[in-house]
Amino acid sequence: MAAGVIVVIIVAVFLPTQTTILQKNEKLGLYILTPSPTTTLSDLKDAYAEAASTGIGRSNVYLFWSTLEPQQGQYDWKIPDALMSLNKQNDLKVTLYFSIINNRVFGPFPTWMREPQLDDNLKEKTVKILDDILSRYGIVDHMIIGGGVDAYFREHEKDITKYEEFFTDVYNELKEKHPNVKFGNSFSLHGVLNHQQEDLVGKLNQGDFIAFTYFPVNTLNEIDKTPEDAGKNLEKILDLVGDKQIALMEMSWSTAESVGGSNDGQVKFMKIVYDFYRKNEPRFEFLTWFRQYDRPVESCMKGLNTSFDVSFGNEFVLQHTAEYICGTGLIDSDKNPKPAWEEFKKQVQFNPNS
């Protein structure tokens, strides 16, 4: 080595980088959708990826018999396959909403069924289609057979016993075929409380769990409660269900000022909801927040079903309903996150699987 030349050897030490592994919680979910009602598959993929990045472990999928089996014995699986594929790709379990009853509507059923009744014929057809769905999609672990049943039975009280028997028969046959899937009905908590229907929950407490949606509104669909008052309504669920497991399927707080909403109220109520969940976690099947994105109000107006519904014929109530629903997103329709979006992510990550 030449004199005066100093050789410096630099040893680079590479330490392993630490990566945070996102922990999924299968009990916590989000109703996933895009901000635009004209949705592309690419838009849906982005929405699912964004939702899954929060750590949720499930989503809601809504299937309607009228579109799934437009011709007797001929299923149209295109849209359900796409939705279920996105859930599977993002490692999400599915709560499936299937509408034998859909709020005030019986059905909707395919036209070829004409005028079905709560009888053995409908029971057999229901078992067949639900068995086919569950056999096709293994990621469905909870199913709502009747949704918002309190609204329907306010006008069809004489059919309560028939539905009770119908549900029990359908449940028993499906449970034998799919023992790992849990079945239940859903009620709107605000509807039950606003119309004094607490007894109905006890009459239709069949299945593996009782699910609730909740909008903190009066009969005009205006927010008339503080987040703290709404939290007290949640506490009433424990008395309503007795020893049954509970599920919160569509929890929401609108930020639309026209119905009394605000960003601050949405954040406060979200904290109260997840506190309620943590205090009662062993009783919970799942808790799904409604919903990911706002949409333009006119799209929610088009989506409202006014069939068989005198009160919804009131344009004032109809407008408020659309404004409430389209303002419940955690991200606005221009893709700007609301304060509750960051809070949602915090709350999901604060609740590891038990």
Which residues, in sequence order, are CB contacts of 164 under 8 Å at separation 6+?
Answer: 203, 204, 206
Tens-place pLDDT, residues 173-210 = 999 999 999 999 999 999 999 999 999 999 999 999 99
pLDDT at 214: 97
pLDDT at 307: 53
CA distances from 272 to 25, 32, 268, 269 (A): 19, 22, 6, 5
Given CA atoms 67, 68, 74, 79 in this order, what sign does their dihedral have?
Answer: positive
Tens-place pLDDT, residues 26-50 = 999 999 999 999 999 999 999 999 9
Tens-place pLDDT, residues 114-162 = 999 999 999 999 999 999 999 999 999 999 999 999 999 999 999 999 9
Question: d(Cα 164, Cα 173) in Å, to the nearest integer?
Answer: 15
CA dihedral 82→85→89→95, nearest 10 degrees, is 100
DSSP 2: -
Residue 4 has pLDDT above 70, yes or no: no
Question: d(Cα 238, Cα 245) in Å, to the nearest integer?
Answer: 9
Residue 29: closest CA among 73, 61, 64: 61
